């Protein structure tokens, strides 16, 4: 197929089309599972340029794969010998309205830039995770990303008020409403959030901001069981008025992995425990955050009282409360090392699953013996956004045999389905989870998805082959 690069160059300039060795930064995503250089990378600087590119693509029947910060895990931007559309030059914050608590940003804005802009106004853009320094707004919208603060603020979908989207034929949908209520027909923006670029190209969005907490309370605790951890979460939510922002589970094997990754790191406790949880509360109430003459705060007392009560009951085994920003950052560094810890070992099977909060212990009780029957020497690593039920459950099989891997995946899928969970929580589908979509999504649901895809992209040019398995597969 002859690519219309000359026509694209007439729109964005030849210097903004990467070919050959210049495509190297776009050859793979962060996981490195799907590697392949594209034939070209187009780098438009405006919505109008994106529109013209897609008009040419439709006319010439040229598939287009949108790409943002390349921080995905499932091959959603894999396009060997194809054309990638990078949004990295569309990196302006168009507006920030402190009184309305919203921000208007283009798809190529890196999350850290949004965090910094909000901070200057004593606000926060609450979406955050380890790759925030390179992840871009368009990518997190296209995967409906989660992160550590979903417990309090919701995932990307919950933070989005409006979208600007270019359809496959180049038409621009202006859905940039900043309204919190707009009951005027189909909520079209939700079709594109989480669609992984298969329906159109997100070029800008209106996102919610929130008040910056007056104080953060951060602690790492060891508990008797996951059931006790859920009890602690519920107590803290009740006592703080829902101020818990992060509630992150790191079992014994995760702590051991972190110590292996960073020989300078310290274990959270002198003794090793099976259930370790990092907690962070963001206190916005001036009454709870006010510092007394002796340096104490009501919020500190609240946290200490809840922890002390659970310790007396035997549910809490140990606790360390951060008393400085350095201690807080040390706790966050441990949690945000998850990807590096996971990649210390090869031949892994990644599972990004969601479960009802009260069924997480049941998941481990059910899945481990079933996995051991199929692969007696299998190992695992878990880290979890425990407050919203999202487990990153990585398996390390004893063999590279793909048939074994597929059987192990099905076992995890079976248990997740039995417990009313989801096989994809925040990392999306891409290519990696297409077989699972085929196995687990009801036929009528997949048919409905295909109908939406065909209506908005009848030529199947937008990121083809991702997210929804074809009908004849």
In this predicted structure, the answer to whether residue 1 has a pLDDT above a threshold of 80 is: no
Residue 383 has, within 13 A of its CA and on its CB side, a CA count of 19
What CATH number does the domain located at 215-338 have? 3.30.70.2190
Report whether 30 contacts 428 (CB < 8 A). Answer: no
Report whether 184 contacts 59 (CB < 8 A). Answer: no
What CATH number does the domain located at 5-86 have? 3.30.43.10
Report whether 105 contacts 137 (CB < 8 A). Answer: yes
The pLDDT mean for the chain works out to: 95
Give the pLDDT of residue 473: 60
Residue in 404, 349, 330 with CA at minimum distance from that of residue 373: 404
Residue with tokens 């009801």: 442
Whole-number Å distance between alpha carbons of 281 and 279: 7
178-215 pLDDT tens trace? 999 999 999 999 999 999 999 999 999 999 999 999 99
Q: How many CB atoms lie within 10 A of CB 53?
A: 24
In this predicted structure, the answer to whether residue 396 has a pLDDT above a threshold of 80 is: yes
Q: Where does CATH 3.30.465.10 sit in the chain? A: 93-211
Task: Give the pairing type, strands 160-167 and 172-175.
Answer: antiparallel
131-149 pLDDT tens trace? 899 999 999 999 999 988 9
Give the pLDDT of residue 47: 98
418-454 pLDDT tens trace? 999 999 999 899 999 999 999 999 999 999 999 999 9
Kindly report the pTM of this predicted structure.
0.94
The rounded radius of gyration (Å) of the Cα atoms in the chain is 23
338-352 pLDDT tens trace? 999 999 998 999 999
Helix, strand, coil fractions of the chain, as percent rounded to 5: 40, 20, 40
Mean pLDDT of 167-184: 96
Report whether 425 contacts 390 (CB < 8 A). Answer: yes
Percent of the chain with pLDDT over 70: 100
Return the exposure string of 153-183: e unless at least 16 CB atoms fall within 10 Å of the residue's CB, then b: bbbbeebbbbbbbbbbbbebbebbebeeeee
What CATH number does the domain located at 93-211 have? 3.30.465.10
Q: Where does CATH 3.30.43.10 sit in the chain? A: 5-86
| CATH class of the domain defined by 345-432 | alpha beta
Q: Where does CATH 3.30.70.2740 sit in the chain? A: 345-432
In this predicted structure, the answer to whether residue 389 has a pLDDT above a threshold of 70 is: yes
In this predicted structure, the answer to whether residue 301 has a pLDDT above a threshold of 70 is: yes
In this predicted structure, the answer to whether residue 32 has a pLDDT above a threshold of 80 is: no
63-119 pLDDT tens trace? 999 999 888 888 899 999 999 999 999 999 999 999 999 999 999 999 999 999 999
């Amino acid at each position: 197929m002859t690519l219309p690069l000359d026509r694209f160059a007439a729109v964005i300039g030849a210097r903004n089309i990467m070919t050959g060795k210049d495509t190297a930064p776009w050859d793979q995503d962060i996981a490195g599972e799907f590697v392949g250089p594209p034939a070209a990378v187009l780098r438009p600087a405006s919505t109008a340029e994106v529109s013209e590119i897609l008009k040419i693509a439709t006319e010439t029947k040229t598939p287009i794969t949108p790409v943002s910060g390349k921080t995905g895990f499932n091959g959603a931007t894999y396009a060997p010998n194809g054309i990638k559309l990078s949004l990295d030059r569309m990196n302006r914050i168009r507006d920030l309205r402190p009184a309305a608590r919203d921000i208007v940003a283009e798809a190529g804005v890196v999350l850290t830039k949004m965090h910094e802009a909000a901070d200057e106004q004593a606000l926060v853009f609450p979406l955050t995770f380890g790759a925030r320094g390179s992840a871009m707004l368009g990518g997190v919208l296209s995967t409906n990303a989660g992160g550590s603060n979903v417990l309090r603020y919701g995932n990307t979908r919950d933070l989005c008020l409006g979208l600007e989207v270019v359809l496959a034929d180049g038409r621009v949908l202006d859905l940039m409403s900043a309204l919190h209520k707009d009951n005027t027909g189909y909520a079209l923006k939700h079709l594109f959030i989480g669609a992984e670029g298969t329906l159109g190209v997100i070029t800008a969005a209106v996102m919610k901001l929130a008040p910056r907490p007056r104080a953060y309370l951060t602690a790492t605790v060891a508990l008797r069981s996951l059931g006790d951890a859920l009890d602690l979460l519920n107590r803290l939510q009740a006592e703080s008025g829902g101020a818990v922002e992060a509630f992150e589970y790191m079992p014994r094997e995760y702590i051991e992995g972190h110590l292996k990754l960073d020989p300078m790191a310290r274990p959270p406790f002198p003794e090793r425990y099976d259930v370790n949880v990092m907690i962070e509360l963001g206190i916005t109430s001036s009454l709870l955050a006010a510092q007394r003459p002796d340096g104490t705060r009501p919020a500190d007392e609240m946290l200490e009282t809840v922890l002390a009560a659970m310790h007396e009951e035997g549910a809490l085994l140990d606790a360390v409360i951060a008393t400085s920003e350095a201690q807080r950052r040390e706790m966050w560094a441990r949690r945000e090392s998850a990807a590096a810890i996971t990649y210390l070992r090869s031949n892994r099977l990644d599972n990004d699953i969601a479960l009802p909060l009260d069924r997480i212990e049941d998941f481990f009780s059910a899945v481990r013996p079933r996995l051991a029957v199929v692969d007696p020497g299998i190992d695992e690593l878990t880290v979890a956004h425990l407050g919203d039920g999202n487990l990153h459950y990585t398996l390390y099989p004893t063999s590279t045999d793909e048939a074994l891997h597929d059987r192990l995946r099905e076992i995890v899928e079976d248990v997740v389905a039995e417990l009313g969970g989801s096989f994809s929580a925040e990392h999306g589908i891409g290519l990696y989870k297409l077989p699972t979509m085929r196995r687990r999504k009801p036929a009528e649901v997949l048919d409905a998805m295909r109908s939406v895809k065909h209506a908005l992209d009848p030529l199947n040019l937008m990121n083809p082959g991702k997210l929804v398995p074809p009908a004849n597969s």
